[in-house]
Structure 1
Amino acid sequence: MPFVGAPAAVAADPKPLRLPVMPARLDADADCTGSSAQRATTVPWEQQRLQLTRAWEFSSGSWVTVAVVDTGVSTAAPALKGRVTAVGQAGEDCVGHGSFVAGLVAAAASDGVRFAGVAQRARIVAVRGTDARGAATAASVAAGISAAVQAEAEVIVVSPALETGSAQLTAAVRSAVAHDAVIVAAAVPDPPAKSGADQETPAPRDYWPAAQSGVLSVLDVGADGGRPDDALLPRGADLTAPGDGVIGIGPRGSGHFIGSGASFAAAFVAGAAAQVRSAHPELTGQQSAERLVSTAYPDTVPRLDPYAAVTAVSAPRSDRAARPGTPDRQVPVALPADAGSRPTRRAVLLAAGGGAVMLLVAWAAVVVPRGRARRWRPAGSDISPEPGGEV
């Protein structure tokens, strides 16, 4: 019997659904993100891809606390009712991005709605890692991670991906690792990270805190397993998860939004980490992170598999995760181009200023190609991040 109400698996709805786009940040003069009048009444492609219905039969994230380091998490979001504890003013979410991420982690299922979070019974700690409009700095993210540690979160998901780190941020991550938390972070910034199709795509590089040892770095992919050919790339990533055109909740109301970015992919991994920690409380944070990587589908960058992570019989072998500096982490990450995702990305770019852009979404379900890449760097390593796995 499932632990929680789980939407039955259904065929993709041939009718497209119009949803407003969730912005990554707001312009100074933009209104706060409101509610959506549309609801997801069919199973989103990302839930089908992750086989969440199967995973829910074994774990729903009960008794696990997940900290969301983002724009805040609205305590008014019905899908998270009664399960959000806010640090300071983080219970207010003007942008809506943090609420969207928290919903991917832990939104409860409801009648007539096919969307639900990965760990529907997990508890959420809302922590600000940005200012009220969504702008982040190394100092603000470090403060957010430190607050999550103080709140005794067992899983910490960090949405901002910064071009530069700091000693304070490094110390905050090390503290979280020392307190046995699983730390999950976006491998690259959410769009719009670069300003226009006429500009050259930057070379693969590190983004922080994802590049730091002890952090699970997550890259986003679309329904066909690819990414836009102009998408930002990290030097390495541990896992991929759905992150292009995914469905989530808003800061208020029962309607849904659509969004794209690595922060949303990180949310799926954080939800899976909560499932693992709930089903296997005997595992440490490091062992839980290793389990997520070692049970992932082999691919250019391993693909998250929540069901396998929760149900794998044997404990993960630490030697299955590559150590810092090993040969399979010496080439930058490269994934197949995803031309079909460009309309979604463009809509997200338009929405970044806080406008109510409407996007036409058609559900898709395609098989993702296979390969291998960088593995999770174990906690405690002082070696600087190396380029990613061989393609």
Structure 2
Amino acid sequence: MASVLGGRPGLRSGAAAVLAAAVVAVSVGGPAGASADTGGSEGGGSDSPTALPEAAMVAEGGECLPPSETVIDREVWTEGALGLPEARGFADGGGVTVAVVGSGVDDTAAALDGAVDGAGEDCVGFGTFLAGIVAARGQDDSGMVGVAPAARVLAVGVTDDRGVADAQDLAGGIESAVGDGADVVLVGAPVPAAGGDTGIGAALRTAADADALVVAPATVPTDGGPVAALPGPGPGVLAVAATGPDGAPAESEPAVDADGEPVRADLAAPGRAAMGVGPGGDGHFTSGGDAVAAAFVAGTAALLRSHEPDLDAGAVAERLTSTAYPAPGAASEALLGAGTLDPVAALTAVPAPREAGAAPEAAAFSPDPPTPPTVGRTLAVAGGSALLILVLAVGAAAVRHGRTRRT
């Protein structure tokens, strides 16, 4: 098995300041690399972005992740990019439990206080980071809020203190999460795909029988580059790939599996320059990767299951993929699957009328692609509305002209 690395190369020292700038959304400026500052409550001026510490998937050293001393009080880019404020107007995740299967969840941060079942130590901090992406409660002095802030988090620890797990650990974690009533199971443990009977198949059947949707990273980082991750795409599983603040795939080309075939993703979501909470207090961290992207999808699944509780896990997966923004071209499709996650479209999709016995099809309300800055999205929507009004006006005039000629 290839060894799993902790964190992406190049996200250290001075580069962390650039990443922190990308984390925060600016009111009119561009995405990653813009001159935005973090504006954190612990300091950092407009000319010197505050560097956030990284919560890596796997720890490189033998020490636990120390608490962050920086709290960012500005809205992060993922809020506008995914239209999350609008999406939370339809549902907040109430009544839904999302299991985070990974390194554990520390609920010391006020944003997770009272939101986590099974909370405890999280030496790596990555499980806590994922839990915050899914369900962090909004705080007055923080720009960080989870996708589904009223959802419950179920912490299922399966890794060692470095964040490493194997297939049997993951399979047991999925079964434990389902047994404890999870509606959505988020896989946050880095387990490269391997041959042999790992117990994953049985765990997925257990999840399917319990109507639990499994959301997992499409790949995990190793010392040889990204490789296919367990459990992999298939019935009852959504495999998720990461995008950056500009909407482009986080990777330039698909990873390949043991047979040399491209690793397939079902869906894509933000997975670079993401901000979240961590262990030991209210300070913020940054992280990335397909598992972070999967956390955004798991949170959106919680919104959808809260909004439409009669939808089963398969219907939730179909809704999320069918309402995604399509990947632009064959190259991107290989990296982004069905396209980029669109929470608002998923929550507002209206099933088209169908004959008895026919497969369901969704006619989705689809706003413009969620890429920052949000002002561009607003202008595009306004422009589309103006065009629609113009078409209706021309049509009405033609009808009146026809009636005049007949009289």
Which TM class, normalised by the smaller chain length?
A: 0.7 to 0.9
The answer on 1:172 being equivalent to 2:203 is yes
The answer on 1:226 being equivalent to 2:256 is no
Within the candidate set 14, 23, 37, 2:36 is matched to 14
The answer on 1:109 being equivalent to 2:146 is no
Separation in 2, partners of 1:219, 1:304:
10
Question: Which is worse superposed, 261-270 or 205-214?
Answer: 205-214
Give 1:250's aligned residue. Answer: 278
Separation in 1, partners of 2:253, 2:325:
25
Separation in 2, partners of 1:105, 1:275:
10
Q: Which amino acid aligns with 1:34?
A: P
Question: Which is worse superposed, 127-136 or 50-59?
Answer: 127-136
The answer on 1:276 being equivalent to 2:304 is yes
Within the candidate set 76, 94, 99, 1:44 is matched to 76
> Do 2:62 and 2:162's aligned partners in 1 also have CA atoms closer than 8 Å?
no
Change (3 A) 1:18 1:8: closer
TM-score by length of 2: 0.70
> Do 1:222 and 1:242's aligned partners in 2 also have CA atoms closer than 8 Å?
yes
Separation in 2, partners of 1:219, 1:320:
24
Offset at 1:125? 0.4
| Long gaps (5+) in structure 1 | 1-6, 196-200, 322-362, 369-391
Change (3 A) 1:156 1:273: same
Offset at 1:252? 2.1
Within the candidate set 125, 130, 134, 1:96 is matched to 125
Give 1:25's aligned residue. Answer: 58
The answer on 1:188 being equivalent to 2:219 is yes
> Do 1:105 and 1:268's aligned partners in 2 also have CA atoms closer than 8 Å?
yes
Give 1:260's aligned residue. Answer: 288
Give 1:158's aligned residue. Answer: 187
Structure 2 residue matching 1:240: 3-state secondary structure: strand
Structure 1 residue matching 2:169: 3-state secondary structure: helix
Within the candidate set 134, 141, 144, 2:170 is matched to 141
Could you say what the CA RMSD is over the residues aligned between the two structures, in angstroms? 2.7
| Rg comparison, structure with higher value | 2
Separation in 2, partners of 1:142, 1:318:
32
> Do 1:85 and 1:125's aligned partners in 2 also have CA atoms closer than 8 Å?
yes
Within the candidate set 79, 94, 99, 1:67 is matched to 99
Separation in 1, partners of 2:290, 2:101:
14
Separation in 1, partners of 2:171, 2:352:
32
> Do 2:351 and 2:360's aligned partners in 1 also have CA atoms closer than 8 Å?
no
Q: Which amino acid aligns with 1:46?
A: T
Change (3 A) 1:120 1:263: same
Give 1:355's aligned residue. Answer: none
Q: Which amino acid aligns with 1:48?
A: G
Offset at 1:231? 7.2
Separation in 1, partners of 2:251, 2:265:
17
Q: Which amino acid aligns with 2:311?
A: L
Give 2:269's aligned residue. Answer: 241
Q: Aligned residues: percent identity?
A: 42
Higher helix share: 2
Give 2:343's aligned residue. Answer: 306
Which aligned pairs between 1:201-220 and structure 2 lie closer than 5 A?
A: 206-220=228-242
Encode CA deviations 1:85-128: one digit per residue, 9 max, x unaligned.
11xxx621110000000000000111121111100000000001
Total equivalences in the alignment:
308
Q: Which amino acid aligns with 1:223?
A: P
Change (3 A) 1:113 1:174: same
> Do 2:25 and 2:76's aligned partners in 1 also have CA atoms closer than 8 Å?
no
Separation in 2, partners of 1:108, 1:315:
35
Larger relative contact order, structure 1 or 2 (CA cutoff 8 Å, min sep 6): 1
Structure 1 residue matching 2:240: 3-state secondary structure: strand
Separation in 2, partners of 1:32, 1:206:
27
TM-score by length of 1: 0.73
Give 2:322's aligned residue. Answer: 294
Structure 2 residue matching 1:124: 3-state secondary structure: strand
> Do 1:170 and 1:212's aligned partners in 2 also have CA atoms closer than 8 Å?
no
Change (3 A) 1:315 1:263: farther
